[in-house]
Amino acid sequence: MAKYRLTGDQADAMNANMVRTAAAEGLDYHLEGGFTGNTFDAHQLACLARDRGCQDAVVERLYHAFFVEQRSIFERDAIVALGVEAGLDADDVSRALHADAYASAVEADVAEARAIGVTGVPFFVFDGRYAVAGAQAVDVFDQALGEAEASELRA
């Protein structure tokens, strides 16, 4: 709420809208009364997972834990456990987080996002040029993907 300068009612309304939007797409989100915090270490985990060849599984595990199971993805112990559940070694994850081994990679990603105008999440970039900000309807994504594809075909 502080980061986006929202009142409690506004945050609750935003979460309720996201739950409705997810349900319309067949997703089972549970955001009421959930955890909030800094995702820096979760991003470090995703970078480690990329290096270990299992980034998709780890990111999916983080999303499911947060959006469906109402588990924290903010404390290191929770992040280690989720990494292990997605197939990573606990000691490997703990060492990487303790050493902030991927801090520079996360900071570089943040800098790149700021440079292209990202101000919030979710934010999707297609073909490095076409962006969709926020939770949008499927037709908005279809349009952006169509523009990216048409641009690629013209190239």
- The answer to whether 68 and 30 are in contact (CB under 8 A) is yes
pLDDT at 48: 98
Burial of 45 (0-12, 13-18, 19+ CB in 10 A): buried
Within this chain, do residues 95 and 151 fall inside the same structural domain, yes or no? no
User: For residues 118 and 140, is the Cβ–Cβ distance under 8 A?
Assistant: no
Looking at residue 126, what is its pLDDT? 87
Whether residues 35 and 101 share a domain: the answer is yes
**Average pLDDT, consecutive stretches of 10 residues, N- to C-terminus, the chain (155 residues):** 82 88 90 85 98 98 95 96 98 98 97 88 85 86 92 81
What is the per-residue pLDDT for 4? Answer: 75
Q: What is the pLDDT of residue 31?
A: 87
Based on the domain organization, do 23 and 65 belong to the same domain? yes
Report pLDDT for 76: 96
126 belongs to a structural domain: yes
- CATH assignment of the domain containing 12: 3.40.30.10
